[in-house]
Structure 1
Amino acid sequence: MTERHGVLPSQTLRRMIAEGEIRADTPIIDAQIQPASLDLRLGQRAWRVRASFLPGAGRRVADRLPEFQMHEIDLSGGAVLEKGCVYLVELQEALALPGDVSAAANAKSSTGRLDLFTRLIADRATEFDRIEAGYQGPLFAEISPRSFSALARPGMRLNQIRFRRGQAVYSDDELRALNAAEQLVNGPAHIDDGLGFSVDLSDAIGDVVGYRAKPHTGLIDLDLIGHYDPADFWEPVTAPRGHVVLDPGAFYILVSREAVHVPPDCAAEMAPYLALVGEFRVHYAGFFDPGFGHAAAGGSGSRGVLEVRCHEAPFVLEHGQDVGRLVYERMLERPDILYGADMGSNYQGQGLKLSKHFKTPPAS
């Protein structure tokens, strides 16, 4: 019989925890388990490092850390991760994966929307956010606040990990068939190496189409939800001519023109377009769980929030311009929980939306 491939669902993650394939000194809680991923928790120890690094083949993070660390930080009473600095934080979770299970990580949505650049590092890693099949060892998060300094404590969940057996990415032909059956997008489906999506800059003169991070702001306590006034951290962006000029180094929150749907038997990941379309990046938090935008889970299609940073030169971003794509994968089996209202998901049915730490701005 052919071995089944796919992303491992919530019920399998619980079994892996029970069997010690995912383990932690502090018990893993139900709130960490998502339909197709597991939230990872910050540990107590962190290090300010002078540069981002990977351990490299055959080498442990702990062996390389003395080369780059500047000082050790105890997060137990809360510690400020300063804008413009790079930190390495031990995570509470560790892995003892079976030989046929690999993993990939990504920042959580709220992390990306705060411009907290967060990546997973494992022993012997030659890539960020990728875990080889059969990996046994600790996990670390590299955190580099780009726009706002942040107050961090142990147990905070800034990134998440998705496990898979084999590869189960939908081909374009398979994705077209899935779209015909499930309607993955509220309009024509542009499928080319995934489901394409574009940016929405269509609002009338004076309407807000996005937000740009202010350069000099106060501290954000990552435990405070619905607490901060957006005006203290963000300036609204308008597009009276249907375009926005992106400034190099600035960080923007925009939204996709399309509302997308991830059926319960699928998981998706946002991937950026190549730099051939412009010197900017869209994608700092990219996992879309089964049930995102799904009607039975309280959605009717949800738009993707875009975390945008321009690089070398000012760039004109036009309404309807292609900016990224969703890559769909099969689940190994349907998860026993879905993204949506029943889980208290923060972004089901979303439009343009800042992270959960901010009060909801008044309607424009």
Structure 2
Amino acid sequence: MAEGTAVKGAGILPSQAIRALIESGEIGSPHPGLTEQVQPASLDLRLGPLAYRVRASFLPGPGRKVAERIDELAMHEIDLRRGAVLETGCVYIVPLQERLALNGRIAGMANPKSSTGRLNVFTRLIVDEAGAFDMVPAGYQGPLYAEIAPNAFPILVREGARLNQLRLRRGSPNVGDRALEKLHEEVGLLGDEAAAQIRRGLVFTVDLQATEGAPVGYRAKSHTGVIDLDRIGHYDPRDFWEALPGSRRGDLVLDPDEFYILASRESVRIPPAYAAEMIPYDTQIGEFRVHYAGFFDPGFGWKAERAGTRAVLEVRSHEVPFVLEHGQAVGRLVYERLAAEPDQLYGAGIGSSYHSQGLTLSKHFRSWNGA
């Protein structure tokens, strides 16, 4: 088995271990280019040639295949080979190009890619017999499917588009608070900040303090045009977003069911032998959700000058208006160990889109000043 010649031990599998699984056939695809999808601690997943508009989201449940549920719930079939528009307010299921034949020690977890989340495209992984989204049980053998629900803008997608990514792990990689405190003392997890709030992970807060007239965030407009996911740096952000100026009080009222792009006050650093996942701070602090794409690769913000990189927050309010204040805790970074340091790190060297980001929209938009 390739696992025996690659990385051993517990943790998130790094890039070289993912390639070994591809070589062994535990990750497979009838389409070429599988190794080109490998990221420092994850694998990009590609859409297949067909999508199915379904009446409702679903989980197959024990003993049932996703394909069976598609047959029951599909309204029509969509050909993605030449590209097709996925409309807001609709749910689609797309069989992916990859499939798995994992050994019994390796499990997986998926999440949307950063650009997917910043467009408010709700994307989740489904596998056969699943009782939960985005989870791949240890030893899973079978196909993979993406559930896609555009919430802000209609999107034009084609076969091969990469909307979500898969992490593979062996054992339990979570880092407890004591170990996280020690890691912060040794390497610094928050750029130049001296102190860190560590409570069930690294707490981060929202930045709503405007500087020199710059916006504190962006709010998605309604009834916009289509965004072609293959067009990078193409769209004028003013056609899709409203810039939000800072207030004298340093707060922002979140309107129900509106989508916002904000930024963390802290600068984040992910050491080479670790990855992190952004999760809600506390479901009781307010009626809003922070993050759709919450995975931070090894090397994110990892710079010699310890400057770090701010996290972009994808925020959606629910039910009632909610006042968000500058410096309010909105999430936690839960750090996870890798089984070994990856042979490539997140950053400019591998063409990572957001390695030096501030308050940044998805890569499909030009900068606000038109550059």
Which category describes the TM-score, using the shorter chain as reference length? over 0.9
- In the alignment, structure 1 residue 294 sits paired with structure 2 residue 302: yes
Q: Which residue of 1 aligns with 2:368?
A: 361
TM-score, with structure 1 as normaliser: 0.97
Of 129, 135, 138 in structure 1, the residue corresponding to residue 140 of structure 2 is: 135
Report the residue type matching 2:173 in the other structure.
A
Deviation at 1:205, TM superposition (A): 7.7
CA contact (8 A) 1:44 1:76 kept: yes
Task: For residues 306-336 of structure 1, give each alpha carbon's deviation from its aligned partner in whole angstroms, at most 9, with x where no partner exists.
Answer: 0000001000000000000100011100000
Q: Match for 1:313 among 292, 315, 320? A: 320
SS in 2 for 1:295: coil
- Structure 1 residue 61 displacement after superposition: 0.3
**What's the counterpart of residue 164 of structure 2?**
159
| Structure 1 residue 32: Cα displacement | 0.9
1:303 alignment counterpart: 310
CA distance in 2, matches of 1:178, 1:238: 36
- Whether 1:126 aligns to 2:126 is no
* DSSP-derived class of the 1:254 partner: strand
Query: What is the rounded CA distance, in whole Å, between the counterparts of 1:292 and 1:204 in structure 2?
Result: 25
Is 1:275 matched up with 2:283? Answer: yes
User: Which consecutive residues of structure 2, in runs of 5 or more, have no partner in the other structure?
Assistant: 1-7
1:15 aligned partner, one-letter code: A
| 1:245 matches 2:253 | yes
| TM-superposed deviation, 1:273 | 2.0
- 1:42 and 1:90 in contact (8 A); partners too: yes
Of 18, 22, 35, 1:17 maps to 22
Q: 1:260 aligns with which of 268, 277, 284?
A: 268
> Which residue of the partner structure matches residue 89 of structure 1?
94
Residue 121 (structure 2) aligns with: 116
Contact 2:86–2:155 under 8 Å retained in 1: yes
CA distance in 2, matches of 1:73, 1:271: 34
* Residues 60-209 of structure 1 aligned to structure 2 (within 5 Å): 60-186=65-191, 187=193, 188-204=195-211, 206-209=213-216
Asked if 1:27 corresponds to 2:32, the answer is yes
Structure 1 stretches lacking a partner, 5+ long: none
Shift in Å, 1:168? 1.4
Cα offset, 1:206, TM superposition: 4.2
> What's the Cα RMSD here?
1.3
Please list, as runs of the form range in 1=range in 2, the aligned pairs for 1:40-51 lying within 5 A after superposition. Answer: 40-51=45-56
Q: Displacement, 1:110? A: 0.3
Asked whether the equivalents of residues 245 and 316 of structure 1 are also in contact (C-alpha less than 8 Å), the reply is: yes
Contact 1:292 1:299 (8 Å CA) reproduced:
no
Which residue number corresponds to residue 8 of structure 1?
Answer: 13
Q: TM-score, normalised by structure 2?
A: 0.95
Q: CA deviation at 1:4?
A: 2.3
